[in-house]
Amino acid sequence: MAVFRFHDIYSSTVQVPVKDDKAITEDQYKNVNSRTLDVYADLVLVFKYKQPILKGKGVTDTVSKPEYEQKTLAAYQEVLTSLTRVGLQYETRPSGSDTLLIFILCPWAVLKREATRNSINDWLAGVKVADTNETEQLLQPVKERDQSLDVITESDRLRLISDLITTMPSEGGAGIHPSHHDYVESILPLHDKAFNKAWIKSWSTKWLVNEDDLTRVKDHFGEKVAFYFEFLQYYLQWLAAPTALGVFIHTFGSSFSIFYGVFVIIWAAFFTETWKRREKELALLWKVRNVSKTEMRRPSFKGTMTPDPVTGEMVPFFSPWQRWSRKLLGIPIVVGGALALTTVISAVFGIEVFLTIYYDGYLKEYLIYVPMVLYSLAIPNVAAICKSVASQLTDYENYETHGSHEYHLMQKVFIFNALTSYMSILLTAYIYIPYGPQVISTFQAYGLSFSSATIDPHMLQNRLKAFMITTQAISFATETIVPWLTRRAKVQAVKIQKEVSEKLHRESHDDATLTVIEDSEDAKKFLKRVKKQADLPEYDINEDYAEMVLQFGYVSLFSVIWPLTGLCAFINNWVELRSDAAKISYNARRPIPSRTDTIGPWLDNLQHIAWFSSLTNASILYLFHGTIDSANSSHTPRLGLGMLLLALLISEHAYLALRMVVGLILDSIPTKAELEVRKQEFGVKRSWLSRLGDAIGINSVGVNGLSKRAEAEIVDLSAQLENDFGVQAIRSNLKTN
């Protein structure tokens, strides 16, 4: 077993055209020396040994120190043994006083083995299209095979190697997973600086991102990240319609336009339904259809070992009934959390309204800041508690795959996100404006005096405006500027800490062991860069999805209040598409590529919002249409439960009917990708049939052709028919009738 030398792999800086080809071949891969500094190690494993077990006891007693050293050494050796067992090569470098960076390289033969294994699994799960052809190829001797298997994209390569490291030994991997290892802090691919730079430059200088751009992102960061960008781009394009109409209505029309409200409901239905279609198409184009079926078991999945009903193997099993009972038990908890959050938000809302508008007494100049403090302290904290409960609940529900775990977690978390985002607008529209005047007059009847304030629909508009403008600005700042600042501060802090510790270090003993490392200046620079990347936070794609879906909520649920909502969203998203690229490149570890064929929980969340929009638009229009502009109408919204509910009922059913019809129409028209797949399948069909040939009496014309034997038997029957009873009967009967 040859461990490769550190020098061999990073000291050269010759570039290979890895990025333009989007895929590397065997020759390029083998020629490790000719690869750039940034891509020379496939993955880096961060091994941290900062005495995690002893720390809890307060003071480190001297007796257990050698024990801990032994333990750490054993863990380190176990990691190396596991890597070796699956055929990976590695090289370790210390980084700081408590971290080892293990640079992992996957030899070409191992990569090819994994690719083949993956390819078979894909075929078995129905991910690959041309099933039979592919498999036949696999059956042929290796030399004769075409090269399709031997071209692996960057993202596939990293995914395969990462899977090899993290999957359980029983499933053929090394079994090293950061979430289940005391010493392994993280596993990360290294950023390809050149690619990132080119990516951001290219996207910042064009108006629309095209399919090729997305394919390039897919080949570099994997399908999951590419799906997010495709969704963002698709949503941006669809936003053009409400943006344009919104600007038009805002300029020439009246507030609370019924036309605009109806339009938004239809727009939301069309957007969600067409995205479903686009998603399916992308899954086919990117060859990731059914990919969720190939997902491995989560390491934290707990089950009793039971013989699998299908394979007969002993596998951990968790009864779906048990999971459902846990899920149903979880419903009151989630509902309780939602109620608690609602209560807190309502209370803060009430205090805010009271203090900012009506209160006129003692300490007003200070008390006016109370709501702001509450908003930024109480609500986020309660929401965070709710989310942590949701996370524990989802753990308790014990899902088998990462995908289903994520799905159910995100569904719960989204409820709390939606409450935090929409609750104060809902309160303003349905409680404060309709019932506020009554409450105030009641208070006044009891002799309490208030500063006078008119309650009218303008309040609602202002609140939405504030949300659309400030929220988006804040999110932009927290996503891009804040991380950059904190990183700088951190670096500074670490530097100071280091200097201090080095001083202490020098005092206690000599630095002999560390001088063994004879790396060049280049290598030291490189190590520094890797350390920096390892310290970055992980990229959480769900946060980005949540942001977009919540924004879709503002547009579809509330933009009838202020038609420029669409415009704000449109501008924000144009920037977002670029700033997210920068975020992934500079403010986060490079994500480990993973495959997906859907945006998962977010599609459902979008559909629920669209459904809900049929209710908010109808009720907001019922309550507020015509209350602002016309001079002779009152400023208070109309009330009347019966008519309001009727409006809701009609609007909701119209929405559901529209969604169904649009869905059916879209289903009945195949996408190009679908036709392509069917074509491939037909190719398989034809190739099989040509093999079957005449052996079983069917000629090569096709499944539906006639057998040659039968065709040969076709003769003119007229001569034989003279004595046929039928002919005689016809002649006799037709003459006599």
Residues 507-526 that bind a copy of itself (CB under 8 A): 508-509, 512-514, 516-517
Identify the residue whose tokens are 């109370």: 370
Query: Cα Rg for the chain, rounded, in angstroms?
Result: 33
Stretch that binds a copy of itself, among 31-39, 74-82, 388-396, 622-630 (CB under 8 A): 74-82
Name the minimum Å distance from CB 43 to a copy of itself. Answer: 16
Name the minimum Å distance from CB 706 to a copy of itself. Answer: 6
Nearer to a copy of itself, 47 or 558 (CB): 47
Name the minimum Å distance from CB 461 to a copy of itself. Answer: 28
Q: Which of residues 164-183 bind a copy of itself (CB under 8 A)?
A: 167, 170-172
Kindly state the tokens that stand for 378: 């109480």
Stretch that binds a copy of itself, among 135-143, 375-383, 560-568, 569-577 (CB under 8 A): 135-143
Is 435 within 8 Å of 455 (Cβ atoms)?
no
Stretch that binds a copy of itself, among 67-75, 351-359, 360-368, 629-637 (CB under 8 A): 67-75
Residue 216's contacts (CB-CB under 8 Å, 6 or more residues apart) are 19, 22, 199
**109 near a copy of itself, rule: CB under 8 A:** yes
Number of residues that bind a copy of itself (CB under 8 A): 113
DSSP string, 171-204: GTS----GGG-SSEEEEEPPP-HHHHHHHHHHHH
**665 near a copy of itself, rule: CB under 8 A:** yes
By C-alpha distance, which of 605, 478, 544 is closest to 224? Answer: 544
**116 near a copy of itself, rule: CB under 8 A:** yes
Q: In what order do the strands lie in the sheet with 89-95?
A: 89-95, 99-105, 43-48, 184-188
Q: DSSP code of 356?
A: I
**113 near a copy of itself, rule: CB under 8 A:** yes
Nearer to a copy of itself, 237 or 728 (CB): 728
**117 near a copy of itself, rule: CB under 8 A:** yes
CA distance 244 to 563: 10
Can you name the residues that pair with 305 across neighbouring β-strands?
316
Is 591 within 8 Å of 222 (Cβ atoms)?
yes
Q: 219: exposed, middle or buried (C-beta count within 10 Å: 0-12, 13-18, 19+)?
A: buried
Stretch that binds a copy of itself, among 62-70, 437-445, 532-540, 618-626 (CB under 8 A): 62-70
Is 118 within 8 Å of 138 (Cβ atoms)?
no
Name the minimum Å distance from CB 638 to a copy of itself. Answer: 14
**317 near a copy of itself, rule: CB under 8 A:** no
Name the minimum Å distance from CB 652 to a copy of itself. Answer: 8
Can you name the residues that pair with 186 across neighbouring β-strands?
46
CA distance 170 to 192: 33
CA distance 218 to 581: 13
Residue burial 402-426, b: 16+ Cβ < 10 Å; e: rest: bbbbbbbbbbbbbbbbbbbbbbbbb
Q: 68: exposed, middle or buried (C-beta count within 10 Å: 0-12, 13-18, 19+)?
A: middle
| CA torsion through residues 194, 200, 205, 211, sign | positive
- Among 30, 65, 525, 532, the residue binding a copy of itself under the rule CB under 8 A is 65
Stretch that binds a copy of itself, among 81-89, 352-360, 530-538, 539-547 (CB under 8 A): 81-89
CA distance 23 to 25: 7
Name the minimum Å distance from CB 677 to a copy of itself. Answer: 9
- Among 84, 391, 542, 671, the residue binding a copy of itself under the rule CB under 8 A is 84
CA distance 408 to 335: 15
CA distance 76 to 93: 13
Nearer to a copy of itself, 169 or 336 (CB): 169
Q: 663: exposed, middle or buried (C-beta count within 10 Å: 0-12, 13-18, 19+)?
A: middle
Q: Which of residues 20-59 bind a copy of itself (CB under 8 A)?
A: 47, 49, 51
Q: Which of residues 268-307 bind a copy of itself (CB under 8 A)?
A: none
Nearer to a copy of itself, 377 or 710 (CB): 710
Q: Taking CA 262 as the corner, what is the angle to CA 258 and CA 266, rounded to the nearest 5 degrees?
A: 165
- Among 13, 25, 33, 97, the residue binding a copy of itself under the rule CB under 8 A is 97
- Among 30, 57, 85, 364, the residue binding a copy of itself under the rule CB under 8 A is 85
Lay out the site mask for a copy of itself across 621-650 (x = CB under 8 A, - = otherwise).
-------------------xxxx-xx-xx-
Nearer to a copy of itself, 180 or 679 (CB): 679
Nearer to a copy of itself, 7 or 635 (CB): 7
**100 near a copy of itself, rule: CB under 8 A:** yes
CA distance 288 to 277: 15
Stretch that binds a copy of itself, among 69-77, 214-222, 245-253, 406-414 (CB under 8 A): 69-77
- Among 81, 381, 634, 687, the residue binding a copy of itself under the rule CB under 8 A is 81
Name the minimum Å distance from CB 668 to a copy of itself. Answer: 5
- Among 29, 40, 72, 595, the residue binding a copy of itself under the rule CB under 8 A is 72
Lay out the site mask for a copy of itself across 469-508 (x = CB under 8 A, - = otherwise).
------------------------------------x--x
**142 near a copy of itself, rule: CB under 8 A:** yes
Name the minimum Å distance from CB 641 to a copy of itself. Answer: 4
Residue 43's contacts (CB-CB under 8 Å, 6 or more residues apart) are 104, 158, 161, 162, 165, 187, 188, 189
| CA torsion through residues 52, 54, 57, 58, sign | negative
Name the minimum Å distance from CB 113 to a copy of itself. Answer: 4
Nearer to a copy of itself, 53 or 372 (CB): 53
Q: Which of residues 667-706 bind a copy of itself (CB under 8 A)?
A: 668-669, 675, 678-679, 681-682, 685, 688-689, 691-692, 695-698, 703-706
Can you name the residues that pair with 44 across neighbouring β-strands?
103, 188
Nearer to a copy of itself, 453 or 643 (CB): 643
Q: Which of residues 363-382 bind a copy of itself (CB under 8 A)?
A: none
Q: 144: exposed, middle or buried (C-beta count within 10 Å: 0-12, 13-18, 19+)?
A: exposed
- Among 52, 307, 320, 336, the residue binding a copy of itself under the rule CB under 8 A is 320
Nearer to a copy of itself, 473 or 727 (CB): 727
